[in-house]
Structure 1
Amino acid sequence: MGIMGFLRNRAGAIIIIAIGLAIVAFLLSDAIRSGSGFIADAQSEVGVIDGEKISYTEFNERVEQNAQQFKAQMGGNLNAQMQSYVVENTWNQMQSSVILKKQTEKLGIAVGNTELFNIMFDNPTQQMQQIFTNPETGAFDRNTAINSRKSAGTDPSGQLEKQWLALEESVEQERINQKYLSLIKNGVYANSLDAKDDYINRNKLVKFDYVVLDYASIPANQVKLTDADYQEYYDKNKFRFKNRTETRTFEYVSFDASPSKQDTLEAKAKIDKITEGLRTSTNDSLFVAINADTKMPLTYQKKGALEPALDSVMFTAPKGYIYGPYFSGNAYKVAKLIDTRVGPDSVKARHILINPASEGGIDKAQAKADSIRNLIAKGADFAKLAKEFGTDGTRDAGGDLGTFGRGANIPKFEDAVFGGSVGQLFTLKTQYGVHVIEIQKQIGSSKVVKVAIVDKALAPSSQTEQVAYQKAQSFLSEVSNLKEFEAAAQAKKINKLVGEDVGPLQASIPGLEDARSLVRWVYTADKGDVSKEIFDIGDKYVIAVLTKIKPEGTLSLEDVKKQIEPAVQNMVKARMLKEKADKALQGASSLAQVAQKLGKPVTPVENIVFANPVIPGLSQENKVIGSIFGAQPGKLSSAIEGEAGVYIYTVKGFTNPPPFKDVAKVKEQVMQTLSQQVDGAVFEVLREKANVKDYRAKFY
């Protein structure tokens, strides 16, 4: 009763509180929903450049565009290192674009449509030349570039149009940036005094004798370094220890899953069996398609196109000759000579490509191609029909493919035009559609061969991989921190390896190719964390522990202590040797007397210039050579600490260069040197001011 009475008496207040809580919950859930959008936005940023947020979507589109261009230039797919290069290059482009764009917009620098057309097609930039270089001539192919741009608007996927818009933006911004940098370069100036100093520094000669007490003369075990020594060197050289980006160091153990001896024997037995099958095969193309790991179409190839082992025998062997089995490129291979013939070295041809997708199917495309071929055979103009019916970038050039050698086109097309005769007009189906082809010219003549190659990669068996993985799993089950990691490695006598100062976007480290997944984990871990997963990298299973984090900015003494140890040792050795040198200098009036006391030879040196401060046989000695050029001839120097040791010298004399006459020429040389430094220096200053934040490691 007490509880029920309590509820009745306070029912109004309870209802009000309940309604209030419901409203708060509703508002809070709405705030969370909207807030999650902000959080999602933040998580989708690859970085911030000068206050401008760069979304993953925008950045990744550019990465994909650049990757497509890179593939077109390099051919084939991109490996981890290539992909990393593309990502890095895209990021640098975006930094440059954002940072310099803000500067150029302030100044009103722009590129007009006429100028843009000129630098893309008439006087193309290096970027345009690289993309549209004719492989046969090595020259810029203007027609191909213009035709590609025109056909971009008709590309149903829209991908080509996007690539062209990105390319135009890149070329335009590149020219704007050039104008901006030219303005700065025009402000770089060298006066007559600068020119005179440069002339003297490069041409005034000095002759001197020296005695050196080299640091190597004191064994490292005789040098006791203190914390004060490290601190002294660090304080004097702190400017050297600026870390431009955060780096991380980790230790790892790897368990080898490479093919065992048994795996090798089984692979050899398999290729032996395949060899017998290839020897008796009556359909070699089908046999290769069924049995080869690498499915390559069989085409005629010229001398030098085959790998060296085959190239040396197949051009003199009889048809049906079997070479192998042999081992090459981590695979067992066997090759069969199918045919030899004498054929042209290059072909000039033109074509009209009919696209089945726009014609309603391959049969309708074939019928249309046959009709066009018949019209041409009766005298119709090939070029006009190509412009009217062609669907690829060659249509505006009348279907002209130019002159090309073997390997420039897909195998089926290539076999047809190299195996046909001049003047032949025919149709051909390929993966691109139906072609109407005319062979206009065949140039040269040489022997070519068609070789069937069956390869079987040498790979570890599932049993080999399972054994290695079980070892890795056993190790991982015993460790949860750095101390346990080190103890387990020592107990199992497993060699620990180190990934030192690894950057956030590094794709590989020595000994581990394509280690991106491992590096990505490293940048989510805290110091001392052991990886919870086993990384499958190449033929190794890897477990890692994060041991060190070096933040962006000036590194601490602890971060660089190991790195600077040799330099600190030399600093302490310099003190010891300087004390020895100072004693030898007491009461000495000549370098010969000092040398006698120290038991060291006097070494003569001639023709040293200030601009190249290298002492022959030793090292670059900026401080020592600088001191020499400020010394009086005949006077015994004090002890000078250098890079290789402690020096004492006597200047024998200077040889002044001829009178300084051509001031204008030297000024021009000095200004040219300064101008060459402008690009990098300006961008570096602007980049530092832009306060760039890089989050790419979360995504790539």
Structure 2
Amino acid sequence: MAVIGSIRKRAGLLIGIIAFALIAFILSDLLNSNSSLLSGGAETDVAIIKGEKIDVRDFESDVNELIESYKRNNQVATVEQEIVEQIREQAWSDMVNERLLGSQYKQIGLHLGPAELFDMFTGQNPPPQIRQAFTDPATGQFNPANVVNFLRGLDQQEPAVRLQWLEFEKGIQKDLIRQKYNQLISKGIYVTSEEVKRFNKSTNGAFTADYIVLDYTTIPDSEVEVSDEEIKSKYNEVKKNFKREASRKIEYVSFDITPSDQDRAEAKKYIDDRTEEFRTSDDDSLFVVLNADSKWDNTYKAKGTLSPMIDSIMFSADVGTMVGPYEENGVFKLAKLYDRINYPDSVKVRHILFSWQGAERANPQVTRTPQEARVLADSIYKIVKEDVSLFDQYARTYSDGPTKNVGGDLGWAKEGQFTPAFNDFVFQKKTGAVGFVQTEFGFHVINITGQSGGSPRVRVAVVDRLIEPSSETFEYHYGLANEFSGKNRDAASFDAAVKEMNLAVRTADNIIETAKTIPGIDAARPLVRWAYEGNRKPGDVSKVFSFDDTYVVAKLVSATEKGIADIESVRTELEVLVKKDKKAEILSEKIRAAGSNNINE
């Protein structure tokens, strides 16, 4: 009860945390620079959370760790700027929570030990993330034994898998201890019976009233005059209602980086120089890998799914037929018919699964390593490939799959029901084929026993060259933007140059300090930061900013600081309020003149 009482006294802490997080988010933007906002801080101290100075290097370390985790989990080499911004927000939120809530956890003795964590992971009611990761897709059932089996074999997994699991476990642990804290908070806050009574009365009670409506619009605005003194008086009365957040208005011009004629000619020449060699190539896939900008596409395409420029040709031409060079969506291309097959509507297959400890949905009784599984699978594959009549016998003896007792028979299946590598084999090979495939479930020895229906599908080898700006083109457009910025350092010269050069001007208004985008520009943080720099004033012209395929030069049109708006900026709103007051007086006088206290008369 002492813990609950302590939390009950601190119920307002949650509101404080939220408010602080909002304020802290503004500070987080400073973590991209070496500015010092708070007094007494070193140059790299950008915020103070509960008395603790936050060093930008610590924050950047957390951000980089999350970015690397994102790359591993999503198997990508680079991360888009939009995702990076989201990761930065997550890192900042984690940092705030850790310092604010972490101290509360310690104060009340709240923790989550290894034994408790293991019990929660392997129990019948695990966290949603664990249940999702270890639920059998075929049955929809969660089996705690799969978790236990995976954890026991964790040391034998690849380092990348172990690291991914530790990151996964760390994230879940944070969520679980936060849930425990929130549960304690919810148990410590209650509603009294008297509050319930008042609430029910106010929401469910029935009342009867008579009223009349005299609309303000029945009096024309032209009949109501407003003086400057009345405007000033109303402003003083209601100015607290005109609080404004800081905002900026800018105008900007873009110098778009588009490929030059020379860039187009070089891309075309690149394709022309490879046309004849590709036509006579006897290893098209290797040629594509070595010469194309895009990756080799090994998938079979149905009619209607290829580019309209080659679709009809590829389904009527002979294998080896080449189309091009041709241009499509800013790319020069050569396309060559690589292969054509009859792609079945459904297949009947059987397989022998050789799993290993820790593989997806592996039986807890499986203790072999991946290497041992491969050796065994390869030996059985060689036997049944020579004599497929032995397939049923070996499946019943060796398979680790759920169809072991029926000779590994999976029955008839449509495309997409199997994992990709398995699916590709059974739909691209012919009836009777025996194959060896690795998936996340283990090694499979497969036999296709039947196929039905089907339609033609083709594989097309494409050599392409993107028509893109060269470094010289980037330098040329940067030179234009830099010259514009250098010659036009104030509003008057900016406007004159825009008119003389016939440039299109875009306007971005009401830009708040935490804005990430502005109209026409994604990931606009550098430009927003420029607009809010301490010495910035209306009329200033920016340096050149680079955003994707464009260079931008901006002019600060106006700057509104946080606080109460001045009287002139809200004059129109004040006039409306004064007129409303005067109309109310006129309407009230009409009611008084009626001379009755009964509105029904």
TM-score, length of structure 2 as denominator length:
0.64
Tell me which residue corresponds to 2:553: 543
Q: For the Cα contact (< 8 Å) 2:251–2:555, is it kept in 1?
A: yes
Distance 2:595 2:307 in 1: 71
Letter in 2 for 1:294: S
Which residue of the other structure, out of 559, 565, 575, is the alignment partner of 2:581?
A: 575
Specify the SS of the correspondent of 1:210.
Answer: coil
Deviation at 1:89? 2.3
**Do structure 1's residue 235 and structure 2's residue 239 form an aligned pair?**
yes
In structure 2, the CA distance between the partners of 1:374 and 1:456, relative to structure 1 (3 Å rule), is: same
Letter in 2 for 1:479: N
In structure 2, the CA distance between the partners of 1:484 and 1:315, relative to structure 1 (3 Å rule), is: closer
Q: For the Cα contact (< 8 Å) 2:248–2:556, is it kept in 1?
A: yes
Q: For the Cα contact (< 8 Å) 1:300–1:415, is it kept in 2?
A: no
Distance 1:138 1:303 in 2: 35
Q: For the Cα contact (< 8 Å) 2:381–2:436, is it kept in 1?
A: no
In structure 2, the CA distance between the partners of 1:532 and 1:211, relative to structure 1 (3 Å rule), is: closer
Q: For the Cα contact (< 8 Å) 2:211–2:599, is it kept in 1?
A: no
Specify the SS of the correspondent of 2:517.
Answer: coil
Deviation at 1:169? 3.4
Tell me which residue corresponds to 2:342: 341
Tell me which residue corresponds to 2:95: 94
- Residue deviations 1:625-649 (CA, integer Å, cap 9, x gap): xxxxxxx9x648xxxxxxxxxxxxx
Q: For the Cα contact (< 8 Å) 1:249–1:500, is it kept in 2?
A: yes
- Residue deviations 1:291-326 (CA, integer Å, cap 9, x gap): 53222342235799x578699869965565778857
Specify the SS of the correspondent of 1:194.
Answer: helix
Letter in 1 for 2:106: E
Unaligned runs of 5+ in 2: 1-38, 357-369, 385-392, 401-412
Tell me which residue corresponds to 1:212: 215
| Mapping 1:89-488, distance limit 5 Å | 89-122=90-123, 123-128=125-130, 149=151, 153=155, 160-186=161-187, 187-192=189-194, 194-195=196-197, 197-198=199-200, 200-201=202-203, 204=206, 210-214=213-217, 218=221, 228=232, 231-232=235-236, 235-237=239-241, 241=244, 243=245, 250-259=250-259, 282-300=282-300, 306=305, 320=319, 325=326, 327-328=328-329, 331=331, 336-338=336-338, 339-342=340-343, 350=353, 373-374=378-379, 415=424, 419=428, 424=434, 426=436, 437-439=444-446, 449-460=458-469, 465=474, 468-481=477-490, 484-486=493-495, 488=497
Tell me which residue corresponds to 1:663: none
**Do structure 1's residue 555 and structure 2's residue 557 form an aligned pair?**
no
Deviation at 1:466? 5.2
Q: For the Cα contact (< 8 Å) 2:343–2:428, is it kept in 1?
A: no
Identity of aligned residues (%): 25
In structure 2, the CA distance between the partners of 1:502 and 1:105, relative to structure 1 (3 Å rule), is: farther
Q: For the Cα contact (< 8 Å) 2:336–2:460, is it kept in 1?
A: yes
In structure 2, the CA distance between the partners of 1:488 and 1:416, relative to structure 1 (3 Å rule), is: same
- Residue deviations 1:113-133 (CA, integer Å, cap 9, x gap): 344234445433344456667
Q: State the superposition RMSD in angstroms.
A: 5.7
In structure 2, the CA distance between the partners of 1:311 and 1:263, relative to structure 1 (3 Å rule), is: closer
Distance 1:164 1:367 in 2: 24
Distance 1:588 1:333 in 2: 86
Specify the SS of the correspondent of 1:288.
Answer: helix
Tell me which residue corresponds to 2:82: 81
Deviation at 1:103? 2.0
| Mapping 1:682-697, distance limit 5 Å | none
Q: For the Cα contact (< 8 Å) 2:63–2:87, is it kept in 1?
A: yes
Deviation at 1:88? 1.2
Deviates more, 1:464-473 or 1:83-92: 464-473
Distance 1:184 1:210 in 2: 47
- Residue deviations 1:632-669 (CA, integer Å, cap 9, x gap): 9x648xxxxxxxxxxxxx9xxxxxxxxxxxxxxxxxxx
Q: For the Cα contact (< 8 Å) 1:73–1:131, is it kept in 2?
A: no
Q: For the Cα contact (< 8 Å) 2:374–2:443, is it kept in 1?
A: yes
**Do structure 1's residue 509 and structure 2's residue 518 form an aligned pair?**
yes
Deviates more, 1:577-586 or 1:64-73: 64-73
Deviation at 1:87? 1.7
Specify the SS of the correspondent of 2:213.
Answer: strand
Letter in 2 for 1:288: V
Specify the SS of the correspondent of 1:574.
Answer: helix
Distance 1:162 1:54 in 2: 27
Letter in 2 for 1:474: E
Deviation at 1:527? 0.8
Distance 2:234 2:469 in 1: 50
Q: For the Cα contact (< 8 Å) 1:351–1:437, is it kept in 2?
A: yes
- Specify which structure has the bigger relative contact order, considering alpha-carbon pairs within 8 angstroms and separated by 6 or more residues: 1
In structure 2, the CA distance between the partners of 1:271 and 1:231, relative to structure 1 (3 Å rule), is: farther
Letter in 2 for 1:536: S
Q: For the Cα contact (< 8 Å) 1:288–1:452, is it kept in 2?
A: yes
In structure 2, the CA distance between the partners of 1:427 and 1:510, relative to structure 1 (3 Å rule), is: same
Distance 2:241 2:43 in 1: 38
Unaligned runs of 5+ in 1: 1-38, 354-364, 388-402, 591-631, 637-649, 651-700
Deviation at 1:168? 2.8
Distance 1:463 1:292 in 2: 22
In structure 2, the CA distance between the partners of 1:372 and 1:282, relative to structure 1 (3 Å rule), is: closer
Specify the SS of the correspondent of 2:94.
Answer: helix
In structure 2, the CA distance between the partners of 1:408 and 1:460, relative to structure 1 (3 Å rule), is: farther
In structure 2, the CA distance between the partners of 1:189 and 1:144, relative to structure 1 (3 Å rule), is: same
Distance 1:547 1:452 in 2: 53
In structure 2, the CA distance between the partners of 1:436 and 1:422, relative to structure 1 (3 Å rule), is: farther
In structure 2, the CA distance between the partners of 1:577 and 1:440, relative to structure 1 (3 Å rule), is: farther
Distance 1:374 1:253 in 2: 68
Specify the SS of the correspondent of 2:254.
Answer: strand
TM-score, length of structure 1 as denominator length:
0.56
- Residue deviations 1:189-233 (CA, integer Å, cap 9, x gap): 1535534544653574878663423599759xx988887378447
Tell me which residue corresponds to 1:526: 535
Distance 1:75 1:407 in 2: 24
Tell me which residue corresponds to 2:51: 51
Letter in 2 for 1:168: E
Distance 2:318 2:211 in 1: 76
In structure 2, the CA distance between the partners of 1:75 and 1:437, relative to structure 1 (3 Å rule), is: same
Deviation at 1:422? 8.2
In structure 2, the CA distance between the partners of 1:200 and 1:407, relative to structure 1 (3 Å rule), is: same
Deviates more, 1:366-375 or 1:482-491: 366-375
Deviation at 1:253? 2.4
Give the paired residue count: 514
In structure 2, the CA distance between the partners of 1:211 and 1:189, relative to structure 1 (3 Å rule), is: same
Q: For the Cα contact (< 8 Å) 2:281–2:287, is it kept in 1?
A: yes
